Chain A
Amino acid sequence: MIKTRIIPILLYKNFTLVKGVRFDSWRRVGSLLQAIKVYRLREVDELIFLDISATQEGRSPDFRLVDDFADECLMPLTVGGGVRKVEDVKTLLRCGADKVAINSAAFEEPEMIREAARKFGSQCIVISIDFKRSADGKHEVFIHSGTKPTGKEPILFAKEVEQLGAGEILLTSIDRDGTMEGYDTELIQAVADAVSIPVIASGGAGSYDHMLEVLVKGKASAVAAASIYHFTQMTPLETKHFLREKGIQVRI
């Protein structure tokens, strides 16, 4: 049986790893290469690396950087941030990414998604969807690291990108991000039910119970987490022992 993936997320900004709260108040959390070495030793299921300032700064992905650290990985790696062209996807795959995450361009240049999926296969195209819940309880997709509203409803947007050929969705609640108060299980479940591609739950993990909830009730295929692995003693391995006790299939 396929195992539920526990995925640490590495956010990169101003040449260092950072973690924020609600896409703001960024704190340095250490060196990229060091983090990758540790996660490799711990044999984590997969890593997601996002260069969160690339799009805002109008930059392409830092291919040299990815080329350098991807070689050290020898584990599944998703790379995102600043991906705007089919050529960017090609170069990142060549540098050693297994999957490429696309956020702003999925909204602004949807044809690029179709072309990249056709050329490289859906399995390597991850659409990263960041959303906020407004006062009236409605959800809206934001792009450019959460700074730009799109007027799009996330469930509808997820279905659209699936149609374009996306192979996976990384679904992040901006409101929950970094708060450690739990995932937005309700919306994650709605999206997971609406699409037939895997959904990775992201934003808000603060305990192993939060992860269990988003997997069972939220029907996520995988859970991503950052703060709990940066700022607490919790580890991906311990997460898996907990989840296994609760009947979730994990790789240990």
Chain B
Amino acid sequence: MKKVAIIDYAMGNLDSVARAIEECRGEPVITGRAEDLKEANYIILPGVGAFGDGMRNIRELGLEQTIKEEVLQKEIPFLGICLGMQLLASRGYEDGETAGLDLIPGEVVRFEPDGPGVKVPHIGWNEVVLKRPHPLFRNIPSEKDFYFVHSYHFACKNREDILCLTPYCGNFVSAVNRKNVIGVQFHPEKSLQLGLKLLSNFLSL
């Protein structure tokens, strides 16, 4: 069985992620305990909310160290979704400046509208353009639409960490990847069939 730890740090839509993982034949465990992360075959960091609160909650639960050990030493496949992707960055500027998990170098900054009538937050379906092949996107063509709902985005420091781009206020980084660490800005658990396909692919890593 594929044991999937979904990190519960009081930030958002954990049930939807768990439900989607069940549809993909994974065994989700919603948890805020370090022991559960250590037992899992896969770890997902979901999240809706502000960067500052998110990091504070992870630190208060004492999970920062465990996450880093699991990811960097044991190389467990790790997926950050939405805020969970943003927390992979070095720092974020939502609700003050806060240090992130620093697993992928970069900063999380607010969208700057690049023309009149351009709305922030970025809410809705938009295409995800694959910059390099990755098994997460097996049988998912480039430029397919996924669901986004966010005001901040991940500005990557290194080009090689960029997995996908999406056109909005210029192009922003909609997925990052370094080794076993992946982050997606969109919500696969809310992107219907294609989203489930992506999560199934994650459970095959």
Contact = CB atoms under 8 A, between A and B. Distances in A.
Interface of A: 1-5, 40, 43, 45-46, 67, 70-77, 90, 93-99, 118-124, 167-168, 196-198, 219, 221-222, 251
B13 A74 contact: no
B121 interface: yes
A242 B118 CA distance: 24
Contacts of A120: 11-12, 48-50
Sorted nearest first, the 4 A-B pairs with minimum C-beta distance are: A123-B121, A96-B16, A251-B125, A71-B19
Contact of A74 (B95, B120, B121, B189): B189
Contact of B117 (A1, A75, A98, A219): A219
A123 B15 contact: no
A241 to B, nearest CB: 16
Contacts of A70: 15-16
Interface string B108-121: 00000100011111
B126 interface: yes
Interface in B48-89: 48-50, 53, 83
Contacts of B193: 43
Contacts of A221: 119, 123-124
A1 B167 contact: yes
Main SS class of interface, B: mixed
B49 A3 contact: no
Q: Which of B83, B119, B145, B147 has the most CB of A within 10 A?
A: B119
A99 B49 CA distance: 11
Contacts of B126: 1-3
B102 interface: no
B125 A67 contact: no
A3 B120 CA distance: 14
A121 B83 contact: yes
9 contacts: A40-B192, A46-B147, A67-B15, A71-B19, A73-B190, A97-B13, A98-B48, A120-B49, A124-B49
Interface residues of B, number: 46
B50 A198 contact: no
A5 B48 contact: no
Point out which of A74, A120, A221 has the most chain B C-beta atoms below 10 A from its C-beta.
A74
A94 B15 contact: yes
Contacts of B15: 67, 70-71, 94-96
B149 interface: yes
A251 B145 contact: yes
B122 A2 contact: yes
- Quick one: which of B20, B53, B121 has the most chain A CB within 10 A? B121
B14 interface: yes
Contact of B123 (A43, A71, A168): A168
B51 to A, nearest CB: 9
Nearest to B121: A123
Contact of B50 (A46, A76, A90, A119): A119
Interface string B41-53: 0000000111001
B123 A121 contact: no
